[in-house]
Structure 1
């Protein structure tokens, strides 16, 4: 009985610590700090589409990072019973830049690829429903390049299977993650407005 209760508590803790949406793989427990302007994105925050037009500032709190990092932003698009993914960004060469923002050690890059950033743009829907946009930060392997098996999907951006991409690119599990939610139109109440 005690074991069953402890197992239930641990299972619940695992789901509440996840910084990725339920059902998304890979699941990540450490938070990637994401800022659009001065607004901090808590995992699952609903935001206005117009607030996410420019690439966010990212970083981490409480840990010293060294080396280079790779950032992926993946949108989950839902249409009835089907789900597709859209690669909103795949940016390499993130490094600590020596700056902090509200205690966050900021990471930056001058890279615009392999896939440049474009903000959330859920299609018009009736009824509207939120779409998830997931940020994943990986340690970047030396000599990183998009594998030949993934070039087409990275170029088209549609239907990326991130678990398969990780395996093909020989990426280790993501270190940090976060996600936000956006729905079509900017006429609904949101957590912040820019």
Structure 2
């Protein structure tokens, strides 16, 4: 009986610390701090499309970072016939610590716009509505990083990226941090500027 309780608690603790959706590979336990304006993205937070159209601010808490980092943002819920596929929403290199903080997060920044520039979530209308999961993954960037020739087409088209395969081909280690947000399919909320 005690073993069953301890095992159950262990499973709950593992689920509570996951920063990526259940079943996504690679899973990540350390949180990537992502901010859209002043809104902090906790794992699975539902956001309006209009709130996530600009590249976010990213950072980490409780980690000392140095060097350069690679950020991927992937939608894993794109309709494709009777199945779902992926879309690469961003692949930005050369993120580096700034020495600045936001709400305790050590902020990173990049001036890079590639290999694949950021474009915000825009899930299509579906019946029934289907929230899309947008996963952010932060990797240590290998020296002289370049998109491998085997991955250039998929990065350029952005459709159907297999992130574990990309990691292998690019020589990436497991992500050091991650998080995900959700945007409801068909959320066509527009931002009005006065």
TM-score normalized by the length of structure 2: 0.92
What is residue 172 of structure 1 aligned with on the other side?
Answer: 173
1:185 deviation in Å?
3.4
For residues 13-71 of structure 1, the C-alpha deviation after alignment (integer angstroms, 9 at most, x for no partner) is: 11111000111111000000000011111110000001111000000012221110000
**Stretches of structure 1 lacking an aligned partner (at least 5 in a row):** 189-193
Match of 1:100 in 2: 101
Q: What is the aligned partner in structure 2 of residue 54 from structure 1?
A: 54
- The separation in 2 between residues aligned to 1:187 and 1:113, in whole angstroms, is 27
Aligned length: 189
Contact (CA 8 Å) 1:71, 1:137: kept in 2 or not? yes
Correspondence 1:3-18 to 2 at 5 A: 3-18=3-18
**Structure 2 residue runs without a partner (length 5+):** none
- Aligned 8 A contact 2:49 2:188 in 1: no
Runs of 4+ residues over 4 Å off in structure 1: none
SS of the residue 1:153 aligns to: helix
1:61-113 superposed Cα distances (whole Å, 9 cap, x missing partner)? 12221110000000012537511000000000000112111111100000000
Could you tell which deviates more after superposition, 179-188 or 47-56? 179-188
* Alpha-carbon offset, residue 7 of structure 1: 2.2
Residue 115 of structure 1: aligned partner: 116
CA distance in 1, matches of 2:187, 2:169: 38
